[in-house]
A = this chain, B = another copy of it.
């Protein structure tokens, strides 16, 4: 079987659709880990392709998705989450039979549900989500080391082709610290907690603070609100595709804020101490500070 062959071999040709921070960094990482492979960058922007070439992130660039995809063994879609399904269809139209396709989007539930209702002509798809990124965006900030210390989620779903899963997992293992297999539903619940809720909370903190007060903000405030720098064009589709989880979490978070208010209102210093002690201890126990 073709996929078996691909898996036994080192992939020869990667196509990266989308030359932003994530796509550019991924391309650069693939070039490092697979020095003999062709790494083709696809972007609608000539400028982005030019920058990716200058930074030696890709071996070739094109504005035509067809040109890249028809020769690729593995295709990464590195565009905002609300564009991925449309691009999967386009990749399927031009790809060789047996091409494996994955993405780097931050939510998985809606996408995998959509995938499960499709029958692709040529490709098999499995989702990826590297827990890396930055408040910077664009290929200009891309760096081959972006994923080195990250965790990458790879989604399992019903009817997934085992070889596709193996290939995607094997390639990520070369690029990152750890690969975790997870189903899409669990994935979205998890990232809602550790990434999407903190993002909304950080934005609410900034928006709740008058500008004349922000002028006095210090390192603590800067750290707490750094993720609010993230690009809303990327974040809104992420939040919107994970809104069921987020609505639930925001409600719970509000209750926890109410609880703190009640302790303050009733002067319950001891309850507050217990709460802050537990939080400090649990935060301390995270392996990276």
Partner-B contacts on A (CB < 8 A): 131-133, 150-151, 180, 190, 193-195, 197-211, 213-214, 216-233, 235-237, 239-240, 243, 246-247, 249-254, 256-258, 260-261, 264-265, 267, 269, 272-273, 275-280, 282-286, 288-289
- Indicate if the CB atoms of B249 and A207 lie closer than 8 Å: no
Contact (A198, B193) CB under 8 Å given A218-B131, A276-B235, A286-B222: no
- Indicate if the CB atoms of B193 and A213 lie closer than 8 Å: yes
- Indicate if the CB atoms of A151 and B200 lie closer than 8 Å: no
Which secondary structure dominates chain A's binding surface?
helix
- Chain A to chain B contacts (Cβ below 8 Å), 26 pairs: A132-B218, A190-B213, A190-B216, A194-B209, A194-B213, A194-B214, A198-B205, A198-B220, A201-B205, A204-B253, A204-B256, A204-B260, A208-B252, A208-B253, A208-B256, A220-B226, A222-B286, A222-B288, A224-B226, A228-B276, A228-B280, A236-B269, A236-B272, A250-B260, A254-B254, A254-B257
CA distance A279 to B226 in the complex (A): 11
- Indicate if the CB atoms of A198 and B224 lie closer than 8 Å: yes
Q: Residues of B contacting A230 with CB < 8 Å?
A: 276, 280
- Indicate if the CB atoms of A218 and B194 lie closer than 8 Å: yes
- Indicate if the CB atoms of A200 and B260 lie closer than 8 Å: yes
- Indicate if the CB atoms of B224 and A280 lie closer than 8 Å: no
Q: Residues of B contacting A150 with CB < 8 Å?
A: 218
Give the nearest-CB partner of A277 in chain B: B232
- Indicate if the CB atoms of B195 and A221 lie closer than 8 Å: yes
CA distance A132 to B219 in the complex (A): 8
Contact (A257, B250) CB under 8 Å given A201-B201, A280-B229: yes
Contact (A250, B264) CB under 8 Å given A201-B205, A224-B224: yes
- Indicate if the CB atoms of B240 and A220 lie closer than 8 Å: no
Minimal beta-carbon separation of A60 from chain B (angstroms): 32
Q: Residues of B contacting A131 with CB < 8 Å?
A: 216, 218
Minimal beta-carbon separation of A152 from chain B (angstroms): 11
CA distance A229 to B224 in the complex (A): 12
